[in-house]
């Protein structure tokens, strides 16, 4: 799958792309089944909510289930990423972020690069976050909020929030968020299950708690150029994988092939 010139220009201008219906209902069903298998295991790579104890983030998925091992090599994800960042990309992080109905907590305003740089020593903000909605994401069940065009501010001041939620995060200073909000419109990334979302390392984003009766689960693959790899080994492997082997795309129907 290749992005058109118009879509490439849109990404560079806005800092993100929403691609509706990139994955079929049958493919999403396979991913949801794999998600349930990983959630049911008692694994330190399953990070749980501070209050409810429900899974907030399940990480290292491609090492835990064959379906996700295929997904990180899916051409509908890998080929657009290669267009944007070059051929040699490694799987930096593979996870599902969940906002459980009634219980899902917020993600504070942040840029992914702050964590990649501060915690893992990634030199430049070149990583790409490639999402797939595993549930319908609406304005009611905790969608991602983006400041459109905020990537143009580059890497901004952050501080390490270790108390607000169960996931320690480098978050953007409130004064800077206010400054960005004066020139960058705030938008919600919504769409049906199977929608894809691509955004870069400096886009300022966050998401509110989920007060609705509907779950919100989103798969996330972060691909990073091999030449821009980590220089620190402070975090466990499921936070930032050490294998720098470039991902190579599989066949387009790889999710629906029999196991084995």
Reported as a single tens digit per residue, the pLDDT across 51-84 is: 777 888 889 999 999 999 999 999 999 999 999 9
pLDDT of residue 94: 97
Reported as a single tens digit per residue, the pLDDT across 6-53 is: 999 999 999 999 999 999 999 999 999 999 999 888 888 788 777 777
Cβ neighbours for 194, distance < 8 A, ≥ 6 positions apart: 20, 21, 22, 23, 24, 25, 27, 28, 132, 133
Q: What is the DSSP string of 104-142?
A: PPPEEEE-HHHHHHHHH---SS--EEEEEESS-B-SSS-
> Residues 104-110: what's their mean pLDDT?
89
Q: Is the pLDDT of residue 242 over 90?
A: yes
Asked if 54 and 228 touch (Cβ cutoff 8 Å), the reply is no
Which of 34-43, 105-114, 124-133 reaches the highest mean pLDDT?
Answer: 124-133
pLDDT of residue 260: 57
pLDDT of residue 198: 98
């Amino acid at each position: 799958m290749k992005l058109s010139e118009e879509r490439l220009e849109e990404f560079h201008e806005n800092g993100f792309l929403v691609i509706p219906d990139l994955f079929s209902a049958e493919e999403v069903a396979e991913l949801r089944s794999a998600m349930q298998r990983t959630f049911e295991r008692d694994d330190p790579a399953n990070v749980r909510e501070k209050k409810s104890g429900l899974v907030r983030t399940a990480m290292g998925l491609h090492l835990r289930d064959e379906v996700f091992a295929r997904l990180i090599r899916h051409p509908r994800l890998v080929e657009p990423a290669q267009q944007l960042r070059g051929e040699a990309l490694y799987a930096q992080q593979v996870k599902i972020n969940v906002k459980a109905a009634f219980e899902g907590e917020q993600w504070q305003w942040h840029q992914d690069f702050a964590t990649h740089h501060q915690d893992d020593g990634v030199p430049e903000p070149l990583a790409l976050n490639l999402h797939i909605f595993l549930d319908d994401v609406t304005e009611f069940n905790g969608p991602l909020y983006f400041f459109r065009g905020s990537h143009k501010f580059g890497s901004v001041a952050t501080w390490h929030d270790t108390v607000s939620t169960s996931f320690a995060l480098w978050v953007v200073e409130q004064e800077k968020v206010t400054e960005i909000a004066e020139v960058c419109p705030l938008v919600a990334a919504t769409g049906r299950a199977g929608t894809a979302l691509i955004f870069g390392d400096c886009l300022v984003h966050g998401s509110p708690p989920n007060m609705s009766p509907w779950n919100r689960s989103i798969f996330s693959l972060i691909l990073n150029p091999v030449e821009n790899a980590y220089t620190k080994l402070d975090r466990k492997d499921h936070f930032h994988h050490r294998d720098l082997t470039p991902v190579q795309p599989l066949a387009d129907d790889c999710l629906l092939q029999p196991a084995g």
